[in-house]
A and B are shown apart, each in its own frame.
Chain A
Amino acid sequence: MSEVQLIAEGRGKHCGDRSKHLLRWLLFSLPLLFLALFYFYPLTKIVLLSFLPEGSWQPEKISRLFSSTVYLRILWFTTWQAALSTLITLGLALPGAYVFGRYTFPGKNLIQALLTVPFVLPTVVTAAAFRALLGQNGLLNGWLMSGFDLSSPPIRIEQTVYFFLLAHVFYNYSLVLRIVGGFWAGLDPDVRAAARMLGASPWQTFRRITLPLLFPAIGSAALLVFIFCFTSFGVVLILGGPGYATIEVEIYRQAVQLFNLPMAAALSLVQIAVNFLLMWLYARLDKRSKTTFYSDGATGSAMQPVLKSQKAWIGVNVVFMVILLVSPLMALVMRSVTGEYGMTFAYYSALFTTQTRSVFFVEPISAVSNSIGFGVAAMLIAVTLGLLASTFLASARSKGTSLWDAVIMLPLATSAVTLGFGYIITLNRPPLNLRDSIVLVPIAHALVAFPFVVRCILPSLRRIPQSLREAATLLGASPFQVWRYVDLPIIMRAILVGSVFAFSISLGEFGASAFVTRPHTPTMPVAIFRFLGQPGDMNYGQAMAMSTILMLVTCSGFWMIGRFDSLRKSVGTGV
């Protein structure tokens, strides 16, 4: 620490410290209150409900849960499918990570943009897209049946494990590619060169130098994939069918379909415990690899391929990426405009009408405006709270701050289904009777998005050198002016990224929405889920149409970041 800093801090202790301290906590009180009401309160209720189902101590329920093979089987299945998904994803994505980390090639930027699509795509859309491609009524089966004159669909993976494993790979492929590829590109190429100069062959260099250096990144990517698959909800619910249940799906079934609230609470407790354990592991691992959540991509030391074999290897991977990422989405769009008798917009126009005996009380298209409205509200709440919390966390660095940082990240380690369940058992009676209120949906979404927003803003706030603020102060800026003219412009991009993240998280959120959405104000994912749950070509087609709209709305959000970014750069105010 420099002498100036020491002096500045010493002086701070004497005069402005007390009011500064008060201001910090005042800033932080709002996010804290929000977390207390909408996170800790419902969670406490879940814990109470699982141990005291009827207001008295009944540990039998819990012990029955663990002695019953049914629930052990669910836990085992959840773990097993997550592990398998992780392994398959790693196996497919690591070659891709190599290609992206080491080489530059034409079209790389385009593919990089494409790779972000699954990352932001709502689970329900992914599920619908895979059904559109490979389902019973899917595009591929349709082609095969008409091409080979078959009477029944030849691909029958609907309602099998493989179907949602495939969707998990689709989801997490780009995650592994980004984390490991980015890390790979960031490795100092001189370290590899040094090994070569010391007599190591290319293979020895890979095995003894590159691979060990990649381990932390591979480890944290694998763990993250495992966490996502372990808590997988929408994909399993829609693609797995009634035969398969992860803990998340089972919580939903117990609570919504069987009304066995104590059992749902007990399962939520298991989920919470496992999630915390996994997130704790992840945080420890991530400290070592220092991977960023939203990196701008892998460039660094990448070079142009020289040998034919290198070019071929790149080609194979790129083709695989395009097939994996593009074909389900293409199928989704095509299936949404293909009826029994060819091209049709019937599904889209049906979204605008209220049908008798339909699964909706209102015309389905209102789900679009609902979702956008909820999205904007959730975004405003999450960004306001995120900005306050980040300012609090960035203004000091101590043991206490990192503890608060961890507290803020807790919602990230809690599944949305658990939260949604907690809401319906707590917020249905005074003092907080929000069960029928429309604000419950944006609140739930904001809570899910809040940690992401903090993770977007906090690092860039912390990267601002203290000397910048000191320079502004010595030039006569008040603390507020320093924040307004130094901090705010620098973190503007991070705020923007956080906003779009919050908005798209809200748009795609399904786990909590499945619990808290009111029947006549459905969000898009909830509407898609309802359509998919009903028989008939019309419902199926409308699900495809709605999914296509949701995909377009989500992607246009990210497209707008890009536009805004290039606009800022062209104006020359970009940081």
Chain B
Amino acid sequence: MRPNDKKILEVIGLTNHYAGEPLLEDVSFSLLKGEILCLLGPSGSGKTTLLRLLAGLEDEQSGTILFQGRDIKPIPPHKRKIGMMFQEYALFPHKTVWQNIAFGLEMQNCPEKDKEKRVLAMLEMVGLSGFGNRKIDELSGGERQRVALARSLAPEPELLLLDEPLGSLDRTLRDRLTIEIRSILKSLEVTAIFVTHDQAEAFSVADKVAVLQRGRLQQFDTPENLYRLPANRAVAAFLGFSNFVVGTVDDDSVFSSTAGGIRVSQLAGLQRHHQVVLIRPDGAVLRCGEEAGLPAESSLLSGTVRSVCFQGSTYRLGVEVDEKILLFDLPIDPKPPAVNERISLVIKATAVILLEN
């Protein structure tokens, strides 16, 4: 921890129920100043609830939220100095772009001159200089999104919450705006919490990712660690992995399944209760010729090719191994095997992850 790293937000045992149904169950984490956290999870996982509790828009809860070291439960939302960007932007339809951005500053009784300067700076930052007099219904989806970002940043909040801010935009625009948002947030050194159900978006925006499922925090980690070592089968499945192999652990760090012995890299953690491994699709190399020896720390998997799907930079192979289809991504060179061809794949031990079932 560097000396200027300090916790800006600490969530301890946060639980919230609605009509008897748990929306959040004992969620705890903390966030450093300037960090961008992504709340990742399927719809109904409690992401938005968590965000609205932080904002103070919902308040039936048990557990504690410490913001800058203070319990914020008694503070009403408009005094929390937390900004929020809403899912459908929630721009004020009766106000112009300028008036929307200026609203938060007016609430702070900001002097007219400073206000003007700040709004101009915000417009420039989001690339909408000259759009001040536009009406909201004259803007495109991407422009609205920028106005919403500018509006929520104008009063300089200590924490910015973003609730699926790119949800309604198309793929290409999303990809571009994701990167833009990250660079704007980073340049202003704003601490932010970003809600999404899209893992690609989460990975490209976040410093930390929190995976929520059915109200529970499943994993809190950096994007890289999340991808390399998903904590459990639910997280792995949510990240899009499907190569789960059931079996038993024996000695010598070998996981035995009906598909054959698979070598696992996490020797230390290996325990008898591990019964499922995940094989990441990027961890396989096609074995050409029987004669070559097996590289160290890897396993051999044999099966029949059932499908070959071209995906641009890779081929995705569906390989039937012991009556189960496993998916592997292979480089487009050399030419992939044909359907129904029997192949052998070398699986790197680092691509095999033991999962808590």
Contacts and interface: CB of A to CB of B under 8 A. Distances in A.
Contacts of A195: 92, 103
B55 A198 contact: no
A484 to B, nearest CB: 37
A190 B90 CA distance: 6
Contacts of A213: 93-94
A82 to B, nearest CB: 28
Nearest to A205: B78
A196 B92 CA distance: 12
Contacts of A196: 56-57, 76-78
A1 to B, nearest CB: 18
A559 B280 CA distance: 62
Contacts of A190: 86-88, 90
A479 interface: no
Interface range, B side = 20 to 34
Contact of A194 (B76, B86, B94): B86
Contact of B55 (A188, A197, A204): A197
A201 interface: yes
A198 B107 contact: yes
A200 B55 CA distance: 13
Contacts of A489: none
B90 A193 contact: yes
B87 A200 contact: no
Contacts of B94: 212-213
Interface string A404-434: 0000000000000000000000000000000
B102 to A, nearest CB: 10
B122 to A, nearest CB: 13
Interface range, A side = 10 to 19
A199 interface: yes
A191 B57 contact: no
Interface string A187-231: 010110111111111001000110011000000000000000000
Contacts of B93: 191, 213
Contacts of B45: none
A193 B51 CA distance: 12
B78 A197 contact: yes
B78 A200 contact: yes
Best-buried of B56, B76, B86, B155 by chain A (most CB within 10 Å): B86
A193 B104 contact: no
A209 B77 CA distance: 16
B304 interface: no
Contacts of A198: 78, 83, 103-104, 107, 151-152, 155
Nearest to A213: B94
Interface string B85-117: 011101111100000000110011000000000
Nearest to A194: B90
Interface string B53-96: 00111000000000000000000111100111011101111100
Best-buried of A193, A194, A198 by chain B (most CB within 10 Å): A198
A197 B77 contact: yes
A188 B90 contact: yes
A193 B84 contact: yes
Contact of A199 (B79, B86, B91): B79
A437 to B, nearest CB: 53
B107 A193 contact: no
A213 B91 CA distance: 12
A430 to B, nearest CB: 57
A194 B163 CA distance: 12
Nearest to B79: A199
Contacts of A208: 103
B103 A200 contact: yes
| Closest CB pairs A-B (n = 6) | A198-B104, A199-B107, A190-B90, A194-B90, A197-B84, A190-B86
Interface of B: 55-57, 76-79, 82-84, 86-88, 90-94, 103-104, 107-108, 151-152, 155
30 contacts: A188-B88, A188-B90, A190-B88, A190-B90, A193-B55, A193-B86, A193-B90, A194-B84, A194-B86, A194-B91, A194-B92, A194-B151, A195-B103, A196-B56, A196-B76, A196-B78, A197-B57, A197-B77, A197-B83, A197-B84, A198-B104, A198-B107, A199-B78, A199-B79, A199-B108, A199-B155, A200-B103, A200-B107, A201-B76, A212-B94
Given A196-B57, A197-B57, 4 more contacts: A191-B90, A191-B93, A197-B82, A198-B107
